[in-house]
Structure 1
Amino acid sequence: MRHARIFTNLTSQFAAWLLALLASIALLGAPAHAQQSASPDPLIGSDNIAVTLHAEGAPAEGKEWLLALHFVPKGPEWHGYWSNPGDAGAGMVLALDLPPDWEVGEARYPVPKRLVVAGLMNHVYEGPYTVLVPVTPGPSVKNFTGPVGGTVDYLACTDQICVPQFARLSAAAGGDFARWRAEAAPLLDARAAFAISGKTLRVAIPIPESVALADPYVFIANKQLVSYSAAQTFRRKGDLLIAEIPLDEFGSGKAEALSGILAFGDGSGVRFAADLGTVPTGGEQVAGPRNTAAPPLWTLVLGALLGGLLLNIMPCVFPILSLKAIALARAGESEAKARAEGLAYTAGVVLACVALGAALLALRAAGEQVGWAFQLQQPGVVVGLLVLAAAITANFAGLFELPAISVSMGGEKTGAFATGLLAAFVATPCTGPFMAAALGAALLLPVPQALLLFALLGLGLALPFLLLGFVPPLRRRLPKPGAWMERFRRIMAIPMGLTALALVWLTVQLGGRSFGIIALVLVAGVLLALFVVGKLQRGGKMAWPAFGLVAAPFLAFALIALPNVYEAKAGEVHESILAPQAFSADTLAAARASGKPVFLYFTADWCVTCKVNEASSIERESTRAAFEKAGVVTIVGDWTRRDAAITQFLTEQGAAGVPLYLWYAPGAASPEQLPQVLTPDLLAEKASAGR
């Protein structure tokens, strides 16, 4: 899987440079009169990010002379790249027309930003940026008449496309060199040290302990050495900052020298050069994932089992409680039947949890940034759940009979198995107490141990039903089967109908209003087909072929229409009385650098636990008033749709899903993780305490 990601990276860079090469060949073969008629500073093939070359003053022999390449994107959607572009992209290739005795130094860049696109980490510049190029003229400067010229190849990208750029350069006098010097990352006077230990690069950078680090990150200039998307860990030891960075699994794993840029997290940073040497151990951790080493396996096993057990009382499991209640009542008919149903239900739950866990691990191994409940971020899956919930509601209401899940027809073991599958699938939006640590660790453990945790999570979810199947005294407490079961089934159509309505709302949130309307048309067609099935069943006739005939046109219409009306609604502002900012690494770093308390929370529209916490604890006037008084900065990460940056941050915090609530006290090196079930006054008390 990892090979596929590496192959994608290499091919994307090769394709970009191949296009750039073809553009260069075309330009070299252009008619001479076309070049002569160009302006003194022509910009050829640089429509997306324009570039101009500037020179500072006149060159003098043996003295540093600065040239500046000033890049200006034509819109905010375009970005350029650092010298080491990361997992994808391409750095610039500069060729200056200089006398052979002139020496060109290493280019000096501003501090880049991190941009995750499709699970790939990019080192980019958004907005105008300037690269300084130091030149030391030789004796031939006495005969130099200027101006300096040359060519530059570079890449301009958005989140969707990349376009190779090429420009012929002719240096012009002027330019804001004072500002450009200030924007370039300065070089540290003292040299850093680095060592490679196992699969980790360790770098000791001499930074005074008094320097604030809101969200440190090391951009390594050496290519194919480190994993760009992996979490970095930082520790302070006096005036040394020690960074630990996982190596690229398919890189060289070796380096004779090292260089890069240390970003402080507030837009500033420093350049450093490092020699192979001794890097101290220990120190106080100030940033990065904590407890990345998994706890003892027995604690994770217990956490997964207890977490699954508690899911039975979590709000997001309520939609399937009606199915379980009816099945539990039927389990009292005979001991053999009760055991068979208990085992069948457990098999369905465990199989679903293991299958979802295996899919999650496989996608992450392929480079995808996904987490627990990833399937509910897919509009097609949610539409399927909506149709299923509507069909179950119709079954409960007596519109038709389905032996697999019916309380009055045969197929009990099959029905219990199907109920177990559905229970586990719908329960995935919840990450309850005990469960969070186990699922977070599952992302770090070897595959067999990770799958064991997912299986134990399913066993915990199924445990109450399994005990009822094998412990007769517990079954005897259930009401005896009778006519009440049919009435109970019809009553349970109400919560299942409410579940279907919630899924309608989620469908609109994911795909837009038109997407939701088409989904409702599909639901209406399925219900019409089920109504026909019910009529035929009550007449003792063959029913299910009629279902296919009636439902097929609606299904075909939905398959064609849904993709065409889907609206990607990413980037919308999350509505809240706290007026939160949208999550990004830069936003969090700026908030922490402000010296104010920061409340960061992650939510999703499909996460019922999140919505309960928001209604009970976050969206409260008392919370808003306390936050305003304490000056709390609120940031929210909306994970309703897939977001690679949010997924990566959740992973760094040891969380596999939402909700996640973090409190950053002013000046604190790391956040306090709040409980996943918030009490009404918890946030107001945190703000009032000033912690």
Structure 2
Amino acid sequence: MSRARTFPLPIRQLLAWMLALFATVMLTGAGRAQDVPDEARYGDKNIAVALFADGSPVAGGEWMLALRFTPKSEEWHGYWSNPGDAGQGMRLRLDLPDGWELGEPIYPVPQRLTISGLMNHIYEGTYVVLVPVKVGPDADVIDPGPITGHVEYLACTDQICVPQDAVLEERRGGDFARWRAEAAPLLDARARFAVAGQGLQVAIPLPASVGLADPHVFIANERLVDYAAPQTFRRVGDVLIAEIPLDARRAGEAAMVSGILGFGNGAGVRFEAAPGDVPTGGELVAGPKPVVTPPLWTLILGALAGGLLLNIMPCVFPILSLKALSLARAGESEGAKEGGARAEGLAYTAGVVLACVGLGALLLALRAAGEQVGWAFQLQEPGVVVALLVLAAAITANFAGLFELPSLSVSMGGERTGAFATGLLAAFVATPCTGPFMAAALGAALLLPTAQALLLFALLGLGLALPFLLLGFVPALRRMLPRPGAWMERFRRFMAIPMGLTALALVWLTVQLGGRSFGLVALVLVIGVLMALWIVGRLQRSGKIAWPAFALVAAPFLVFAAIALPSVHQTEKAEQAASIHNPQAFSAQALAAARASGQPVFLWFTADWCVTCKVNESVAIERESVRDAFTSAGVVTMMGDWTVRDEAITAFLTEQGAAGVPLYLWYAPGASNPEQLPQVLTPDLLTGQTRQN
């Protein structure tokens, strides 16, 4: 079982981990101060603990004790013996008669909790740890007296950790039959392990008939493996091979490796592995697919073609008004010098390419720094969306004639700065979604060396700018455009309508990203900017100096927004949009359970700012014919909402070789890997998938 959480406030994360470290030190110090305390120092109010005994001891036999941990509320969790990247395992001491030996505690299969790239091995809810005791052969089992002891452990939420301890006294009772069934049994056969390069390979004897919904190996050896790294599983007959990246901080080589193999449904087995040969090859069962990067020349063509097709993709529709006005005014260049038209084409292209390369470079830098971000990360930032909202409102006001700003009215004759600015804006807004050919190129760009990756981003921009560039360099194409005239001003006013609709869409998006109060403050900012631009327009028409007045009027609204927006921003994700399929929310655990059901699974990733995603949902996914076909075939539907940055979704997209959304995956029953569907869907394509299964 896996759970991933992301907190947007680094300070909160730092405090949580510092508290966990402090609590760990406190526990360690308490253990050294005295062997078995007479009373508890911290108490067990957050996770209560009780010691149970299974009947009476038998001389020379094994007597089973059990520690039952019960959190006071669902937010608290405890830890496995190896807590992972943070936390503290249990420290148990028992007062046993002479000749009695305390065995290794036996745990149930732990769960995974990933916070900001750090993984913990935890238990949520009530859990029981079995404690075997080897009774001495000459032990007095008639009246051995009550077994007492002391236990120290850590109780944590996602934001705070506190040390806990309790003085124990054995009591009879408890549901040992159930507790034994919940504990991970030890495999009879010995596993084998080997270190190959920077990875640990463990060959675990496991019948091929055992189902693995979401396998994960919990290594008991501390600081041996990278806990949060993806694990790969292969089958060779009745042997399961797990491949786990090693921890860069490990010291020395392990003589033995032990742990728990979780199957993904709460069940699992314990194993002990000795050094030995690990089989090669085998069938991939789970984990990241081997990344095969296509030849660079195919990626170059894909990036160029993807950028070219982006001009007709729905993602570009919001800024088509800018492009349409640019193409209309290009007719003015008919009588101008040829060099002017070419210069404007180059200026526009430079703006597009610079924006694509800049976004790509920032994306690569953030990922190199450990951030889980993907293509279109800029539209997951509420502040960026507010800036785009203000810009879209200003462009709408310019188109409507509220004020004059030549740099926003891009033309082919004399306004090179405007052409460059339009290129920047076009690329910034148009590139969030991925289209045909583009997905493979961008996915590969995240894996290639930096120079090759930036080349692909530049070619993507060149493809996007190519139509406008051709207009500047091919006079025959410019002659096909309508001749300039009075109609152009009317056309410009008409273009204010789609640009205004874009601004309204951005208002809605600010609400989705930051909440209603955040959207209201952003709307107040827009009103203030528009008011300032209206005053600028009046001063311009009277021939007076205008822009100082803009600064004077807009400044209070800008200051208000700078103060208010961070304080009202809500970090919680908005509720998932309604769908006729009633899909499950994506998580690794939910996907594993759905695949284990034996039914086909349709998983799609979307975002509120992705126009292509919404078009596909409208024309293909949200159709009654598709719903009926899915219902008849028993298809499990699942959706991942990437509107707000989600590290679990970003990591999954990367595993699938995708840099952004949309992404559509079809899991056939029993298939080890999904089929990636096209990024432009049709109802027939989806209903056809059901007939193949």
- Given the two structures, how large is their TM-score scaled by the length of structure 2? 0.91
How do residues 165-204 of structure 1 correspond to structure 2 at under 5 angstroms?
Answer: 165-204=164-203
User: 1:464, 1:49 → 2: CA distance?
Assistant: 65
Q: Are the structure 2 counterparts of residues 11 and 408 from structure 1 closer, same or farther at C-alpha, using a change threshold of 3 Å?
A: closer
Instruction: Tell me which residue corresponds to 1:81.
Output: 79
Name the SS of the counterpart of 2:270 in structure 1.
strand
Any residues of structure 2 matched to 1:339-418 within 5 Å, and which?
339-407=342-410, 412-418=415-421
The amino acid of 2:382's aligned partner reads: P
Counterpart of 1:680 (choices 676, 680, 683) is 683
C-alpha displacement at 1:366, in angstroms? 2.6
Change (3 A) 1:27 1:138: closer
Residues 1:92 and 2:87 aligned together:
no
Residue 520 of structure 2: which of 512, 517, 521 is its match? 517
Contact 1:659 1:676 in 2 (8 A): yes
Q: 2:406 aligns to what SS in structure 1?
A: coil
The one-letter code matched in structure 2 to 1:554 is F
Alpha carbons of structure 1 residues 11 and 509: separation in structure 2 relative to 1, 3 Å: closer
For 2:154, the aligned partner's letter is Y
CA deviation after TM superposition for structure 1 residue 252, in Å: 4.4
Between the aligned partners of 1:668 and 1:251, the Cα distance in structure 2 is 36
- Once the two structures are superposed, what CA deviation does each residue of 1:253-296 show, in whole Å capped at 9, x if it has no partner? 84332222222222222222222222222112122222324222
Query: What residue ranges of structure 2 are gaps of 5+ in the alignment?
Result: 1-10
Shift of 1:24: 8.1
What is the 5 A alignment of 1:25-174?
A: 44-98=42-96, 101-138=99-136, 141-142=139-140, 144-158=144-158, 160-174=159-173
Work out which of the residue numbers 474, 490, 502 in structure 2 matches 1:487: 490
Equivalent pair of 1:110/1:184 in contact (CA under 8 Å): yes
Q: Secondary structure at the match of 2:241?
A: strand
Is residue 80–residue 157 contact of structure 1 (8 Å, CA) maintained in 2? no
Map of 2:23 onto structure 1: 19
1:12, 1:89 within 8 Å by CA — same for their partners in 2? no
Q: Does 1:654 align with 2:651?
A: no
CA shift for structure 1 position 450 = 2.3
1:176-575 to structure 2, matched below 5 A, reads: 176-252=175-251, 254-331=253-330, 333=333, 334-407=337-410, 412-570=415-573, 572-575=575-578
Secondary structure (helix, strand or coil) at the match of 1:241 reads: strand
Distance 1:443 1:99 in 2: 61
Gap change, CA 1:657 and 1:235, over 3 Å in 2: same
What amino acid sits opposite 1:107 in the alignment? P
| Residues in 2 aligned to 1:242 and 1:20: alpha-carbon distance in whole angstroms | 34
Structure 2: which amino acid aligns with 1:66?
A: M
CA contact (8 A) 1:219 1:261 kept: yes
| Shift in CA distance, 9/486, structure 1 to aligned 2, threshold 3 Å | closer
- Higher mean C-alpha displacement, 130-139 vs 677-686: 130-139
Q: Deviations over 1:394-452 (max 9, x none)?
A: 11111112232224799722212211211111123211111112222222223332222
Alpha-carbon distance between aligned partners in 1 of 2:229 and 2:461, rounded to the nearest angstrom: 29
Structure 1 pair 296/407, CA: closer, same or farther in 2 (3 Å)?
Answer: closer
Aligned pair in 2 of structure 1 residues 466, 399: CA closer, same or farther (>3 Å)?
Answer: same
Paired residue for 1:3? none
Is the Cα–Cα contact under 8 Å of residues 325 and 495 in structure 2 kept in the other structure? Answer: no
Note the alpha carbon deviations across 1:147-193, whole angstroms, 9 max, x for none: 221121223122x3333333333332222221111111222211222
Identity %: 72
| C-alpha distance in structure 1 between counterparts of 2:256 and 2:29, whole Å | 35
CA contact (8 A) 1:185 1:270 kept: yes
- What TM-score comes out, normalization by structure 1 length? 0.91
Match of 1:606 in 2: 609
Shift of 1:22: 4.2
Give secondary structure in 2 for the equivalent of 1:149.
strand
Q: Give the residue type in structure 2 aligned to 1:18.
A: F
Query: What amino acid does structure 2 have at the position aligned with 1:176?
Result: D
Residue 82 of structure 2 contacts residue 221 of structure 2 at CA under 8 Å; is this kept in 1?
A: yes
- Contact kept, 8 Å, 1:17 with 1:164, in 2: the verdict is no
CA-CA distance at 1:532 after TM superposition: 1.0
Structure 1 pair 558/197, CA: closer, same or farther in 2 (3 Å)?
same
Describe the superposition over 1:310-356 as per-residue Cα deviations: whole angstroms up to 9, x where unpaired: 11111011122222233344445132122222222222222222222
Q: Cα 1:357–1:102, aligned 2, differ >3 Å: closer, same or farther? A: farther
Shift, 1:10, TM fit: 10
Helix, strand or coil: the match of 1:655? coil
Gaps of 5+ in 1: 1-6
Distance (Å, rounded) in 1 between the aligned partners of 2:244 and 2:33:
46
Name the structure 2 match of 1:4.
Answer: none
CA contact (8 A) 2:26 2:163 kept: no
The separation in 2 between residues aligned to 1:13 and 1:494, in whole angstroms, is: 51
Q: 1:607 to 1:407 in 2, by over 3 A?
A: closer
CA RMSD for the aligned pairs? Answer: 2.8
Structure 1 residue 618 corresponds to structure 2 residue 621: yes
Q: Distance in 2 between matches of 1:230 and 1:322?
A: 45
Distance 2:114 2:86 in 1: 10
Change (3 A) 1:93 1:372: farther
- Residues 20-67 of structure 1 show CA distances to partners (whole Å, capped at 9, x for unaligned) of 54478799999x9xx98x8xxx79433332222222233344432223
> Distance between the aligned counterparts of 1:357 and 1:483, measured in 2?
41
User: Greater shift after overlay, 434-443 or 617-626?
Assistant: 434-443
Is 2:580 the partner of 1:582? no
* C-alpha separation in 2, matches of 1:429 and 1:174: 60
Change in CA separation of 1:416 and 1:63 when aligned onto 2, cut-off 3 Å: farther
Letter in 2 for 1:419: T
In structure 2, relative to structure 1, the CA distance for the partners of 1:90 and 1:530 (3 Å cut) is farther
Instruction: Please tell me the residue identity of whatever aligns with 2:296.
Output: L
Q: C-alpha distance in 1, partners of 2:636/2:609?
A: 25
